[in-house]
Amino acid sequence: MSTHEKVVACSLESGDRAARAARWQSLGAYDVQRLDNGLRLVFDRDVAGELRELATLEAECCAFADWTPRGNAMEITAATAEAIAAVNALGF
């Protein structure tokens, strides 16, 4: 692996993963749009502030992906085929 490649793995412990999943679930209903390089989650209500916080947190533990909040949507994208597959397998 070159120094520019990011490890395709989440660094959260299992208990922290459950807490993070609950935080995502608290945002409510959303639509998933498939992108060539990842996903776009579009939420049914105003969650922009929480998405900005989650983007910062997710970038720390899942650095293989780019977490970009856009209003009431989150774009989760990646640059390599392996990382894109991991984004698509996140469970959204």
Give CA angle at 42 (41, 44), nearest 5°: 135
Position 2, amino acid: S
Whole-prediction pTM value? 0.88
pLDDT at 15 over 50: yes
Burial class, 8, CB count within 10 angstroms (exposed 0-12 / middle 13-18 / buried 19+): middle
Higher pLDDT, 68 or 6: 68
pLDDT at 3 over 80: no
The 10s digit of each residue's pLDDT in 30-89 is 999 999 999 999 999 999 999 999 999 999 999 999 999 999 999 999 999 999 999 999
Predicted pLDDT at 4: 55
Lowest mean pLDDT among 8-12, 22-26, 44-48, 59-63: 8-12
Burial class, 62, CB count within 10 angstroms (exposed 0-12 / middle 13-18 / buried 19+): buried
- Domain boundaries of the chain, sorted by first residue: 32-88
pLDDT at 19 over 60: yes
pLDDT at 1 over 60: no
d(CA 21, CA 7): 21
